[in-house]
C-alpha cells in the first residue's frame, strides 16, 4: 500500500508558470495523473506536455507521452470538471496562501505546497482557515510526496525511489533524497516519502506522518529526518513512545549550528536554549529511535532498527 498518494490520485496544478510547468512535465513523465491546472489568465486553454516516459515511474507504459492538460479559472471549476483529489501549489509566495485557501474552500482533500518564502503571517491565516475543513496540507516549502512507481507530486527526482517497505518523513528536501537513495541501495525501498517542509508554520507534521505509516500494513519501518528549531521532533518522540508499533530510525541535522542563527530553513533556528539538535536526539533515543550519527549512516540506522 501507500499513504496520501497512489495510482488513484488525480492531480491539479495551481501555478502553471515556468517552475510549475517544468515539474508538471516531470510528474506526467513519471506516470502521475495530472487532470488539470489553474491559471486565471490562461483559463480555457490547454497545456501540452510531451516527451519520453520516465521508466523509473509507473511501468508498462509507452516510451513516449503526449498529454493535454486543461487550464481553469478557479480551483472549484477544475475540481467540478475533473474530479481532482489532490493539488500542488507552485504559486509565487505573495499569492500562495490565497491559493492554499482556495483549494481548501473547494474541498480538495490533499494540498501539497512547494512554494518557498511564503510570509509567516500569511501561513498562520491559511492554516487557521483550513482548520474546520476536511483537507490535509503538506508543506509549504517542501519537496512534495511520492509513492514510488505510482505517483510523484513535487520536485523530487523520481529515479532514486524504489517500491519497498520503509516510510520516509523529513523536514529537509536534500536529506530526504539522501535517505531514499540509501534505502534503495540497501534493498529496503520506500512505501511513500513525505517532505513536510522546514517552515515554522506548516500543515502535516511528524506525528501526522508517523500515524499514517503506523496504520499502513505495508510500511514495516519509518525513517524520520529532523533538524534544529521548534519542538516538532520532541513531540514526535513522545508520540513514538506512546503509540508507534513499528521501528523508527532518525537523523537530526544541525549539531554544529550556533544559537540564534537561522540555518537554511526559516524554522531551523535555536532560540532561548530550545530546539537544539542534542535535545532532539536525546528525546528520540529515549523513545527507542535508532539515531544515525551522520547523514551517510541513515540507511544503516534503518537496518539496525529493523533488526531490533
Residues known to be catalytic: 265
Cell representation of residue 251: 537523523
Query: Residue 106 burial by CB count (10 A; 0-12/13-18/19+): exposed, middle or buried?
Result: buried
According to DSSP, residue 258 is labeled P
Which residue spans within 206-297 are E strands per DSSP? 221-227, 248-253, 290-291
Q: What DSSP line would sit under 216-245, residue for residue?
A: -TT--EEEEEEESSSSHHHHHHHHHHHH--
Q: What DSSP line would sit under 131-191, residue for residue?
A: TTSS-EEE-SS--EEEETTTEEEESS-GGG--EEEEEEEES-HHHHHHHHHHHHHTT--EE
Name the one residue in this structure whose C-alpha cell is 529493523.
306
Amino acid at each position: 500500500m501507500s499513504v496520501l498518494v497512489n495510482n488513484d490520485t488525480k492531480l491539479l496544478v495551481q501555478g502553471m508558470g515556468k517552475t510549475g510547468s517544468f515539474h508538471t512535465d516531470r510528474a506526467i513523465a513519471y506516470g502521475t495523473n495530472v487532470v488539470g491546472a489553474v491559471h486565471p489568465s490562461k483559463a480555457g486553454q490547454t497545456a501540452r506536455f510531451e516527451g519520453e516516459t520516465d521508466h523509473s515511474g509507473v511501468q508498462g507504459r509507452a516510451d513516449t507521452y503526449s498529454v493535454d492538460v486543461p487550464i481553469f479559472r478557479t480551483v472549484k471549476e477544475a475540481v467540478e470538471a475533473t474530479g481532482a483529489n489532490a493539488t500542488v501549489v507552485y504559486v509565487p509566495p505573495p499569492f500562495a496562501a490565497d491559493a492554499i485557501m482556495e483549494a481548501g474552500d473547494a474541498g480538495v482533500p490533499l494540498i501539497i505546497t512547494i512554494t518557498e518564502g511564503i510570509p509567516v503571517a500569511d501561513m498562520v491565516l491559511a492554516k487557521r482557515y483550513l482548520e474546520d475543513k476536511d483537507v490535509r496540507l503538506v508543506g509549504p516549502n517542501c519537496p512534495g510526496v511520492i509513492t514510488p512507481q505510482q505517483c510523484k507530486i513535487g520536485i523530487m527526482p523520481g529515479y532514486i525511489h524504489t517500491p519497498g517497505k520503509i516510510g520516509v518523513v523529513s523536514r529537509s528536501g536534500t536529506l530526504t533524497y539522501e535517505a531514499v537513495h540509501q534505502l534503495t541501495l540497501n534493498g529496503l525501498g520506500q512505501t511513500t516519502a513525505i517532505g513536510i517542509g522546514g517552515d515554522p508554520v506548516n500543515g502535516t507534521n511528524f506525528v501526522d506522518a508517523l500515524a499514517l505509516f503506523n496504520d499502513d500494513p505495508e510500511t514495516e519501518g519509518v525513517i524520520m529526518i529532523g533538524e534544529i528549531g521548534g519542538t516538532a521532533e520532541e513531540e514526535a518522540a513522545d508520540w513514538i513512545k506512546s503509540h508507534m508499533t513499528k521501528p523508527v530510525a532518525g537523523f537530526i541535522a544541525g549539531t554544529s549550528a550556533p544559537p540564534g542563527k537561522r540555518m537554511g530553513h526559516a524554522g531551523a533556528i535555536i532560540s532561548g536554549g530550545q530546539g537544539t539538535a542534542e535535545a532532539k536526539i536525546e528525546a528520540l533515543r529515549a523513545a527507542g529511535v535508532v539515531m544515525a550519527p551522520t547523514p551517510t549512516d541513515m540507511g544503516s540506522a534503518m537496518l539496525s532498527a529493523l533488526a531490533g
